[in-house]
Chain A
Amino acid sequence: MHKYRRTIIWLGLVLIIVLIVLSIYGAFIGAERAEQFFNQPPAVVYWTALATLLIIGIAAFRRLLRVPGLLLIHVGCVLILAGGMWGSRGGHNLQKKLFGIDKIRKGRMVIYEGKNENHVALDDSREQKELPFSLKLKDFRIEYYQPVYLQIQTRQGRQWKVPVEIGKEFSLGDEAGTIKIVKSYENFKIGMEEGKSAPFDDPSPGSNPAIEVQITEPGGQTSIQYVFELFPGHSHGQDKFSLSYHRVISDYISELQIIEGDNVVAEKDIEVNHPLRFGGYHFYQSSYDDKAGQYTVLQVVSDTGLYVVYAGYWLLCIGTIWHMWLRHIFSRLKVKSI
């Protein structure tokens, strides 16, 4: 091996070892600090050196040009680094200086049901910026896994688990009697009706999920107990059973419209794993109003450099699979056919 090629590959190995050490260090300091650490000027120097060395390596090693798999792997790595740097905070600043492109890199927007919004609170600073289009939230909803189960426990430690099905009665055995789910509430409130307290489902904004349970003793006496999802320990001293229930969220859905001028140009329900792509941005379901379900919080992310990274991923994948698997399989098949 020529001296300069040996030097290049030694440098490559050193840079790999440095990145191994930095990755392990980054794993100990947590994601937020690691992101800052890997975007600092010394790290930028490192990324640039790595990308440059890869390009020099491709030019210097004829083997890399002759063996397609190896070439794809190395070009793929260059693209991933280039796309990553182009889409980073520094990359966005550079694009602003060089080309005047002032794109939001990352931020969050809060949209109330029925309202339009185009303001994005930036993650990098306390500033707000406007999108060139608006988003309207038609509806936000949460879906739960079915069935929901009511957990029943006696003071002696006996336990049952029954599905929350309105109107259905469940036997808990001869000693414990029966239990029946009478009604469910999304926003449980107590009001006064004819001088008596009466529970009702309040349609105004708010969330206090509860179920009404009728307990029938083996002797025939009945009593009503309310079970609150958000207050699982709620019970009276005389209650025979400790009851609780918890709904498991299966999905968060924001029904959105994109509005340019006065026209609706796109519509999509976004959920986790199903973002909305529009105008060079991706919109993700990020959070929601857990008190009253009135608004959704979306994460807004620029797609700058993303498709370069994806191209790099494809090349890296195809290159590794070709170089380490397929060419061996094909050469074996060739030998067999001869």
Chain B
Amino acid sequence: MEIKYTIQGLLVYMTIAAYLLAFITTILRRPKIGHALYLLGFAIAVCAFGYRWYHVRHVPLQNLFEVFLCLGMIYPVSLFCRRVLRVGGYAADMLIGAIVLFPAGFVFNAEPQQLPPALQSWLFTPHVAVYMFSYIFMAKATFQAICQLAGRNPKPGENLLPSEEATYRIVCVGFPLLTLGLILGSYWGKLAWGDYWGWDPKELWSLASWLIFLGYFHYRYMFGKKHPGINSLWAVAGMAAIIITLLWVNLSRLFPGLHSYAS
């Protein structure tokens, strides 16, 4: 663990602080101040991402530091979920934002890198960006699934969906993105390495996470809301597979493969 004494590091720490303050003020029933701080945190996160982009001279989605920097810009997703999907968990999103920025601030190396030839493709940005969006949605779905398992539902006056239905609705938004990420990756693999499917550990983990959500849809189609706990467990398992795809495969030397440049 190391502290980054750079402008980049400072921006990351300011975002974390703003998100944490937003979370605390929101749970202390000061929602307006919480919202303002959340918005401020998002503005700083955008600056941090933009600064990184300017610094490395390419879309900063190459390594885990940059990917987590991107994940920290969670605000539009949580606003979309609340306004359009009527899904709660607004305060939790602030905490998720702070949590994903923590490794960017203290763990991952921020040394700028030049893009290796394989990453110089028009598919680089859409493939990674689509995956990042889907991961944020799936993280939110998992939070709702955990709420369902813990027996916590929104209060009647809040005009929000019950946790089980909220999980389903967010997974429905995230799943096409997950599919698109997988297919764009496969098409890119064909252009760069000659195979649209290389049986690489990261590819197999991403397939496993896609299949888990596919299983979730089939199970929910079969049983509806009869076993809400099992529905939620599918979503939690899907998120666990996503975390392994994103982190473990990149960090662990257990799975050397074609995606090792992302570590």
Contacts and interface: CB of A to CB of B under 8 A. Distances in A.
Contacts of B215: 13, 16-17, 20
Contact of A24 (B183, B188, B192, B204): B204
B197 A84 contact: yes
A16 B208 contact: no
Interface stretch (A215-223, A234-242, A316-324): A316-324
Interface of B, helix, strand, loop or mixed by DSSP: helix
Contacts of B197: 84
A12 B218 contact: yes
A10 B177 CA distance: 26
Interface in A231-262: 248-252
A249 B211 contact: no
B167 to A, nearest CB: 14
Q: Which of A24, A252, A325 has the most CB of B within 10 A?
A: A24
Contacts, number: 122
Given A28-B254, A301-B194, A313-B187, A9 B221 contact: yes
Say what secondary structure dominates the interface of chain A.
helix
Given A250-B117, A320-B179, A16 B218 contact: yes
B236 to A, nearest CB: 14
Interface residues of A, number: 49
B204 A34 contact: yes
A316 B184 CA distance: 12
A106 B196 CA distance: 13
B237 to A, nearest CB: 9
Contacts of A4: none
Contacts of A27: 201-202, 204-205, 208, 249, 255
A41 B207 CA distance: 21
A23 interface: yes
A309 interface: yes
A198 interface: no
Interface residues of B, number: 48
Interface stretch (B13-21, B37-45, B158-166, B168-176): B168-176
Interface string A295-338: 00001010000100110010011001100110000000000000
Contacts of B150: none
Given A9-B218, A9-B222, A35-B199, A282 B117 contact: no
B199 A13 contact: no
Nearest to B245: A27
B114 interface: yes
B31 interface: no
A133 to B, nearest CB: 19
Given A24-B204, A250-B117, A316-B179, A275 B191 contact: yes
A317 B194 contact: no
A46 interface: no
13 contacts: A9-B222, A27-B201, A28-B201, A28-B255, A30-B255, A31-B200, A34-B204, A250-B115, A250-B117, A273-B121, A301-B194, A301-B195, A313-B186
Across chains A and B, which 7 residue pairs bring their CB atoms closest together, nearest first?
Answer: A272-B117, A34-B199, A27-B204, A23-B208, A27-B201, A320-B176, A35-B199
